[in-house]
């Protein structure tokens, strides 16, 4: 099943005397790019959290925000004075500009992130295992969202590839007539300019065979259809991450379409080439969102 890189997951759950809230969202990206915001209590486990996210989500621009709420007995706290001082100056200036009561500045400072933090609290192994369950739950929700988005992507990509195949089949039907038209046109031009009796017909036939072989598009069309079939087989592959592979195949499809257009010398075939290019561009836009 195809997966999108777009998704969102959110889980809130009590673990001991704490309530963990994890929010994870992802957008499309060429590689795995993670932005993470975690409380001080989880800082020692940041490397583990990053590894879990990368292993499970693989690709995309990912943002993870984690909150902890204490729901048990009161805990000793410390005030980060240096951080509070850094916050104070811009807040005081803003308060003065807005003619606000300066007495409210302290209460505002104490509510800012990391100004008041739990003192000497270390997350136990049991709490870490409980948090892992919460993190995994949020990730699974995001992956479920990715699968649902992937269904629409797969339908769209199959439609584009099917349309390219239809145009390729149309070109295959036009190919014999195209060769005859080219041959007749060259003979007529030669007769009009040289005269029917003034050239060697056997030599002309040899030259025509050589020329028509040079502009033959049969191999390009065979490769194009093979690429389209390979693309569809990759969609059915069990591998979760296949966006890069699909993108590479689309590049090969584009190469065969371009070569067909450059060798066609036929207005009807050129029309089909233009339509195939349009379908290909739509497919490229969609595949950027595939995991």
Among the ranges 76-85, 154-163, 174-183, which has the highest mean pLDDT value? Answer: 154-163
H or E, element range at 10 = strand 7-15
Q: What is the mean pLDDT of residues 109-127?
A: 70
Predicted pLDDT of residue 185: 65
CA dihedral 150, 151, 152, 157 (to 10 degrees): 80
pLDDT digits (tens, 9 = 90+) for 148-158: 999 999 999 99
Nearest to 131 by CA among 68, 50, 71: 68
Least confident of 162-176, 188-202, 217-231: 188-202
Token duo for residue 11: 């889980």
pLDDT at 201 over 70: no
Give 200's pLDDT tier (boundaries 50, 70, 90): low
pLDDT digits (tens, 9 = 90+) for 208-246: 666 666 777 888 889 999 999 999 999 888 888 888 999
Q: What is the mean pLDDT of the chain?
A: 83
Rounded Cα distance between 9 and 149, Å, is 14
Q: What is the mean pLDDT of residues 130-155?
A: 93
Q: What are phi and psi of 7, to 5 degrees?
A: -170, 165
Rounded Cα distance between 291 and 6, Å, is 9
Nearest to 83 by CA among 114, 122, 49, 126: 114
pLDDT digits (tens, 9 = 90+) for 7-65: 999 999 988 888 899 999 999 888 899 999 988 888 889 999 999 999 999 889 999 99
pTM of this structure: 0.70
Token duo for residue 212: 């028509």
Predicted pLDDT of residue 215: 73
Looking only at the bridges linking them, the beta strands covering 77-79 and 60-70 are unpaired
Query: Could you tell me which residues come within 8 angstroms of residue 61 by beta carbon, excluding any fewer than 6 positions away?
Result: 5, 26, 27, 28, 29, 33, 35
Rounded Cα distance between 17 and 220, Å, is 67
Q: Which residue has the tokens 């929700």?
A: 141
Rounded Cα distance between 19 and 5, Å, is 28
* 6 burial level (CB within 10 Å; 0-12, 13-18, 19+): buried
Rounded Cα distance between 277 and 168, Å, is 12
């Amino acid at each position: 099943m195809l997966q999108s890189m777009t998704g969102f997951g959110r889980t809130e759950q009590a673990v001991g005397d704490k309530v963990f809230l994890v929010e994870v969202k992802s957008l499309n990206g060429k590689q795995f790019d993670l932005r993470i915001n975690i409380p001080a209590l989880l800082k020692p486990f940041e490397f583990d959290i990053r590894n879990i996210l990368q292993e499970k989500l693989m690709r995309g621009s990912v943002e993870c925000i984690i909150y902890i709420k204490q729901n048990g007995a009161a805990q000793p706290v410390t005030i980060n004075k240096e951080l509070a001082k850094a916050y104070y100056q811009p807040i005081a200036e803003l308060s003065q500009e807005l003619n606000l009561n300066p007495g409210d500045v302290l209460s505002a400072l104490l509510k800012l992130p990391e100004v008041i933090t739990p003192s000497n609290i270390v997350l136990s192994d049991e709490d870490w295992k409980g948090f892992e369950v919460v993190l995994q739950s949020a990730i699974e929700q995001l992956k479920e969202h990715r699968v649902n988005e992937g269904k629409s992507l797969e339908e769209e990509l199959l439609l584009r590839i099917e349309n390219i195949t239809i145009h390729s089949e149309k070109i295959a039907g036009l190919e014999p007539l195209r060769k005859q038209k080219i041959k007749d046109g060259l003979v007529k031009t030669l007769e009009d300019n040289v005269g029917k009796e003034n050239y060697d017909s056997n030599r002309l036939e040899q030259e025509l065979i050589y020329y028509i072989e040079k502009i033959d598009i049969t191999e390009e069309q065979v490769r194009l259809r093979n690429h389209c079939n390979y693309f569809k087989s990759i969609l059915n592959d069990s591998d979760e991450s296949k966006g890069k592979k699909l993108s590479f195949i689309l590049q090969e499809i584009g190469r065969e379409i371009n070569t067909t257009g450059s060798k066609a010398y036929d207005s009807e075939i050129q029309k089909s080439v233009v339509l195939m290019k349009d379908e290909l561009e739509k497919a490229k836009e969609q595949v950027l969102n595939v995991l």
